Amino acid sequence: MFRVLLTGDTVGRAGRRVLEERLFDLRQQREIDFVVTNVENAAGGFSITARIANDLFAAGVDVMTSGNHIFDKKEALELIKDEPRLLRPINYVPTLPGSGVWTGEVNGSPVAVINVQGRVFMPPCDDPFRAIDATLAALDPKYKIILVDIHAETTAEKQAMGRYLDGRVTAVVGTHTHVMTADEQILPSGTAYITDLGMTGPHDSVIGMKTSIVLERFLTGLNARFEVSEGDPQLNGLLIEVDEETGRARRVQRIQQTM
């Protein structure tokens, strides 16, 4: 059985710390073969840097997905050109650097990771459903284990993607909202699904940001500058057991670990 851990949006220093301090032991204890982490908020809540990427790879992350904040730091534009393990959504403008797909072999099993972004209440991008169809059509049939991160705002769009891809991929997991949902399941044709993986970061916060600042924005309407919180670091994610021969999910379990 092949075991995959997908973790939700890594937010700021607190999110990085919990991965650096908990991921190695978690991989050993649960015999995890492969880890995918969304990192679009890893550097102070916005984007990622080369140093942070290297630290997270060293901590045990295998592939990094992202979303609408990935290019908020100019450094990420250069980093993503040379680092195939760092993805940006497949349905971005094709002239942008980077790729939305990673493929490789893990413990003898071919694995593919696909990153796609939703369109509802999100910055403009191409149709994620057509983009996924084109990506899967171009993928070598040997890739049975296929993991999809849909970075999207609405539950409906993420659920629709899960149903659309049921039986065609191993897992469809949602990211972006930073709040873990309780709907982990295996869909009828064998695809693991959860609407949102949650947040690997400071849970004494409002979606990772300091509560006082978020409240000020809501109460006054003034655009006070967001600051990442530090309190109550937690790791949120989904552990999936996969049949390597078929690529079908056999078991799913939500993972929530504190420091």
User: Measured between alpha carbons, how far is 115 from 120 in angstroms, rounded to an integer?
Assistant: 16
User: Measured between alpha carbons, how far is 193 from 182 in angstroms, rounded to an integer?
Assistant: 11
User: Measured between alpha carbons, how far is 58 from 131 in angstroms, rounded to an integer?
Assistant: 31
The H or E element spanning position 28 is helix 12-30
Burial (CB < 10 A; 0-12, 13-18, 19+), residue 201, is: buried
Structure tokens at 238: 């989904």
Task: Point out the catalytic residue in the list 69, 151, 178, 203.
Answer: 69
Q: Which amino acid is at 125?
A: C
Of 135, 125, 77, nearest to 103 (Cα)?
135
User: Measured between alpha carbons, how far is 156 from 147 in angstroms, rounded to an integer?
Assistant: 19
Neighbours of 96 (CB within 10 A): 14
Indicate if 176 belongs to the active site: no
- Quick check: 42 and 15 in contact, CB under 8 A? yes
User: Measured between alpha carbons, how far is 223 from 245 in angstroms, rounded to an integer?
Assistant: 52
Q: Give the active site residues.
A: 69
